[in-house]
């Protein structure tokens, strides 16, 4: 007998990421879209599928969060709530979902360490899986894991990240995170052979931890790209990730929906379930 | 008390790789060059260091292989023989070294599976470590391991290898090996969305196992480069290794010299000791 | 006194390229959208701006082609028709536009050499500018011109084009066109140093004219990319163009609209007006 | 009747570039090595060919500069002096060569604008060609010319240069020169869309003229590489030059030797004769 499909609630279903999730869940054979929640009045009662640019799914956008959790809790198959809402609401959203026995998969960032700790205890007590995933890009996690492996054998590394020129911050959060992961290896990278002189201040990039330099390129036409370049005598080893569309996060979202059903506690980070 | 340096014999010390090994061993603080063996008459009795382009090491090139093994076997510290000679001689070289209790690190390729099996049994009986390493490039092994990790999450991959135009064979042995490693994952890559038409035969590259395509570029100015490109909706993940100098193999050679002392049997492949 | 804006008709205004043109013309300070023509019944009478994803422009989609030309011919300022319709209709569209004194800028491909010759004579007689532009990408034209300049000094070149895996043909038309442009230099590229052996048929790519090889990569996540790689002893010179959005064609379209007003005959190719 | 070969003197023939020139001249069918001058005592009287790593040329290294010029002036075919010596000596070398009717091709940098002006007048009076070439890389000149062409159509550009970690200065002189060439277009590049914030100072690179940013990567394994990246809505256009060996300068040197014979005055820069 075939497994019944996983019932999925999408919270924030009218947002950019929410629409992608609606589409991905609708197209996954082992899932069914149970509900589509969003607080923005302009999309109320629209069909979630049509809003996402696919066929009608007969699932209207609603702002009735708790009733949807109650509905989901009555499904015979364990239900999952995917949350791409707002930093200010996710703490309560997660607690409510767990209280109803619905398993949260949360992509919104902004929880404090204390909040995460508190939610972890709450999930533990309820023996309910809960996934908090700041970055759903499987490709970026693979790049970071490959970079960590390489850093055990290479002493020299620099990071280049390239983004469209509407991005205000430099370096990107992901580049900073990558440098932090490498820095945790506990070694000083890029021991200098010569005393460097910057004829233009900043030419050598921004200095992150442990001697790792990050260079940020901003140009229209670029989307979101990161390179980690390792060098040693006679060789260069480069890892590059290019993102061109939010669709790239969906394999990670679907993986998280499947995995959260097997968990009995809170887990943080996509790398933990890959 | 500091550890005594590891005594190293270099067999094939006048060849291109042999000279690099002489240089690397001479510069490694935990090793000492005990002997430099080569059969080519033109370099006989030259100083191995000077031949390698560094300072004189007071180690003359000799063709006396067995006497050098005998000498090495009398060292208090376990000795290692690094062999970059010829496919026709390595089988006997390895047996001789093990017979004298000298641990072989062999970079020459060309042993048959039967020969490797036979040598493995011989090493087992003698409880002597022996390393056979077809590719000493740590960067390439890292790339291949990262590719294997990525292939668990990506269904689409192509390989581009770029070499100087003096290379006759296409694709490169390393690119074929990379495709084989991916093919061993046991899944069919690159399921077709559309029926492809080649307006120029060969445009889509060479088809290796499991749907993996390899493209070989040959141009002067290139040295040795390999890219493995993974694609999925909205993202591309690229691994690239560039080799510009034989020096790139030396970290792998030094690692092998240190590791072979801890082994009691034959091990094949750099990835096993990284 | 400021110049009056250029009145522009967009033919095929409901198509993907047509919508981009509507948006670009609406946002160009020196142009005004006079009419938006399309034959598809489903978009009839919709506002062209809203259909293009911008504000309402009070220009409804109409299928009345000749009346719009008649209207445009009464403008005090010379009008331009941008045509992104169908190969089967452009010959007649161009003749009609010229007959009404409206200057055509045509992006649709598919005219035969005889048709182009015929239209050129027709434009000559009417002393009316007409632009036929098979590729509106300024970046690609720059790449091709840079490649032609490089081919005077480099004897070795290969082309790699990378596209999404929904593209059925390989190589891409643009890659073939680039090879043809280089081949017109009248020299044989890539004289062989060694006799090449393909261990996998097709590994060395598709052989275009004059020894130029083209390699076609197809992966999801890729969009449209082309590299031309020149090699010589000790150096490699690479030209790469990445397209991520139809917006990239708009600077070429706007340039063509401005330039066609200065012409008195038919001109073929964006490179002629850059 | 075949043209007699061009007699060439190499000044600085024992240096790294000088040896490459000796080799390139010896292998050029339309040239003959007339003399090899060098002041370093350690190579005196050695055969210039053997020192350059090729066959003996029966041309010994000599420090007799003026006698060699006198010899060259008696050749029936106009002679050329290629000078890769020292900034302190080139001014006098050039004057002496012109006085003897030998045409200078000078790769050494370091002349002041006044010295160049003075030499130009001296060459004019003697109606003698003279070439001063700060960068003999034809590939880099092609890249710079392609960048200038692109800058007429793109408003956004950044430069990345990547070198080995023995290079002390950042950015490289060639990257600064490229930025200067673009800045001479007389337009401000990279108008900001957003107010940028550097979370790590220097992340956005060094700011050269007219808004152009330069990023300098330093890693072992790299040699000498430069990328100029242009961006516009929906597209990126990248020019990249990779240098792996001094051999890359030889086509430029040979071109200069042939061209200087057709000149009657001083010309500065390889781009002037391409």
Check D242 against B248: CB less than 8 A apart.
no
Tens-digit pLDDT string for chain A (274 aa): 467 899 999 999 999 999 999 999 999 999 999 999 999 999 999 999 999 999 999 999 999 999 999 999 999 999 999 999 998 999 999 999 999 999 999 998 889 999 999 999 999 999 999 999 988 999 999 999 999 999 999 999 999 999 999 999 999 999 999 999 999 988 999 998 888 899 999 999 999 999 999 999 999 999 999 999 999 999 999 999 999 999 999 999 999 999 999 999 999 999 999 9
From the candidate CATH numbers 3.40.50.880, 3.40.190.10, 3.40.50.720, 3.40.50.300, the one assigned to the domain spanning C6-132+247-272: 3.40.50.720
Task: Please confirm whether the linkage preceding B171 is cis (ω < 30° from 0).
Answer: yes
Over 80: is that where the pLDDT of D3 sits? no
pLDDT given at position C108: 81
> Is A264 marked within a binding site?
no
Looking at chain C, which runs of residues are DSSP E strands? 6-11, 31-37, 61-62, 80-83, 103-106, 130-132, 156-163, 169-170, 197-198, 206-207, 213-218, 224-232, 235-243, 266-268
Lowest-confidence region among B166-170, C84-88, C168-172, C192-196: C192-196
Check A202 against D200: CB less than 8 A apart.
no
> For the residues C138-164, what does the mean pLDDT come to?
97
**Is there a shared CATH topology between the B6-132+247-273 domain and the B138-243 domain?**
no
On whether the CB atoms of residues C22 and C36 are closer than 8 A, the answer is yes
Q: Which residues of C are annotated as a binding site?
A: 12-17, 107-109, 164, 173-174
Over 50: is that where the pLDDT of B228 sits? yes
A6: part of which helix (H) or strand (E)? strand A6-11
Q: Between B143, B153, B234, which is nearest A237 by CB?
A: B143
Alpha carbon B210 to chain centroid distance?
A: 26
> Is B164 marked within a binding site?
yes
CA angle B127, B132, B133 (to 5 degrees): 145
Q: Which residues of chain B make contact with C206, given a CB cutoff of 8 A?
A: 198-203
pLDDT given at position D79: 97
> For the residues C160-189, what does the mean pLDDT come to?
94
Check D244 against C235: CB less than 8 A apart.
yes
Check B153 against A142: CB less than 8 A apart.
yes
Name the average pLDDT for chain A: 95
Query: What CA–CA distance (Å, rounded) separates D99 from D53?
Result: 33
Query: What CA–CA distance (Å, rounded) separates C217 from B196?
Result: 12
Of the pLDDT bands very low, low, confident and very high (cuts 50, 70, 90), residue B110 is confident
pLDDT given at position A192: 86
Distance between B60 CA and the closest CA of chain A, angstroms: 27
- CA distances in angstroms from B54 to A255, B6, B248, D19, D146, listed in the order given: 55, 20, 18, 21, 43
Q: Which residues of chain B make contact with D221, given a CB cutoff of 8 A?
A: 242, 244, 248
pLDDT given at position B2: 62
C77-124 pLDDT, tens digit each: 999 999 999 989 999 999 999 999 999 999 988 899 999 999 999 999
Nearest chain C residue (CA) to A221: C244
CA atoms within 13 A on the CB side of A240: 17
CB pairs under 8 A between B and C: 170
Q: Between B198, B222, B233, which is nearest C170 by CB?
A: B198
Interface test with D, best of C19, C139, C226, C228 (most D CBs within 10 A): C139
pLDDT given at position D192: 86
Check A235 against B241: CB less than 8 A apart.
yes
Q: Between B193, B205, B233, which is nearest C221 by CB?
A: B233
Name the average pLDDT for chain C: 95
A145-201 pLDDT, tens digit each: 999 999 999 999 999 999 999 999 999 999 999 999 999 988 999 998 888 899 999
Check D193 against A221: CB less than 8 A apart.
no
Q: Where are the domains of chain C?
A: 6-132+247-272, 138-243
> For the residues B181-210, what does the mean pLDDT come to?
93
Of the pLDDT bands very low, low, confident and very high (cuts 50, 70, 90), residue D1 is very low
Interface list for chain D against chain C, based on CB atoms closer than 8 Å = 137-139, 142-143, 145-146, 149-150, 153-154, 230, 232-251, 274
Check A216 against D204: CB less than 8 A apart.
yes
> Is B173 marked within a binding site?
yes
pLDDT given at position B272: 94
Number of H helices, E strands in chain C: 8, 14
Catalytic residue among D39, D46, D156, D167: D167
pLDDT given at position C34: 97
What CATH superfamily is the domain D6-132+247-273? NAD(P)-binding Rossmann-like Domain (3.40.50.720)
pLDDT given at position B1: 47
Nearest chain B residue (CA) to A143: B237
- For chain D, the first-to-last Cα distance in angstroms comes to 27
Indicate the pTM of the whole model. Answer: 0.93
Q: Which residues of chain A make contact with D165, given a CB cutoff of 8 A?
A: 156, 190, 192-194, 231
pLDDT given at position C2: 62
Q: In this predicted complex, what is the ipTM?
A: 0.91
On whether the CB atoms of residues B157 and B151 are closer than 8 A, the answer is yes
Q: DSSP assignment, residue C248?
A: G
Q: Which residues of chain B make contact with D244, given a CB cutoff of 8 A?
A: 221, 223, 244
What CATH superfamily is the domain C138-243? Dihydrodipicolinate Reductase; domain 2 (3.30.360.10)
Over 90: is that where the pLDDT of D2 sits? no
- CA distances in angstroms from B167 to B162, B171, C192, listed in the order given: 10, 10, 10
Check C169 against B199: CB less than 8 A apart.
yes
Over 70: is that where the pLDDT of B251 sits? yes
On whether the CB atoms of residues A219 and A134 are closer than 8 A, the answer is no
Distance between D237 CA and the closest CA of chain C, angstroms: 5
Query: How large a percentage of chain C has pLDDT more than 70?
Result: 99
- For chain B, the first-to-last Cα distance in angstroms comes to 27
> For the residues B16-37, what does the mean pLDDT come to?
97
Over 50: is that where the pLDDT of D126 sits? yes
Over 70: is that where the pLDDT of D35 sits? yes
> For the residues C24-31, what does the mean pLDDT come to?
96
pLDDT given at position D113: 92
Over 70: is that where the pLDDT of B148 sits? yes
Interface test with D, best of B163, B240, B242 (most D CBs within 10 A): B242
Chains in touch with B (3+ beta-carbon pairs under 8 Å) read A, C, D
């Amino acid at each position: 007998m075939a497994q019944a499909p996983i019932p999925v609630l999408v919270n924030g279903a009218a947002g950019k990421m929410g629409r992608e999730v609606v589409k991905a869940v609708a197209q996954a054979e082992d899932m069914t879209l149970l509900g589509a929640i969003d607080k923005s009045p302009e999309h109320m009662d629209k069909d979630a599928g049509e809003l996402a640019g696919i066929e009608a799914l007969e699932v209207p956008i609603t702002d009735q969060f708790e009733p949807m959790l109650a509905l989901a809790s009555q499904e015979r198959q364990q239900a999952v709530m995917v949350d791409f809402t707002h930093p200010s609401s996710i703490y309560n959203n997660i607690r409510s979902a767990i209280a109803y026995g619905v398993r949260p998969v949360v992509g919104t960032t902004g929880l404090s360490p204390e909040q995460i700790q508190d939610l972890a205890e709450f999930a533990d007590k309820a023996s309910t899986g809960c996934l908090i995933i700041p970055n759903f890009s499987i490709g970026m996690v693979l790049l970071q894991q490959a970079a960590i492996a390489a850093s055990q054998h290479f002493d020299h590394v620099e990071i280049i990240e390239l983004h469209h020129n509407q991005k205000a911050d430099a370096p990107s959060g992901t580049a900073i995170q990558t440098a932090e992961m490498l820095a945790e290896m506990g070694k000083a990278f890029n021991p200098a052979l010569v005393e460097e002189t910057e004829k233009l201040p900043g030419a050598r990039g921004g200095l992150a931890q442990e001697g790792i330099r990050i260079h940020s390129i901003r140009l229209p036409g670029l989307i979101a790209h990161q390179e980690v370049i390792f060098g040693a005598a006679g060789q260069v080893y480069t890892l590059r990730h290019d993102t061109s569309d939010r669709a790239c996060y969906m394999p990670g979202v679907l993986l998280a929906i499947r995995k959260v059903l097997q968990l009995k506690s809170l887990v943080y980070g996509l790398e933990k379930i890959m």
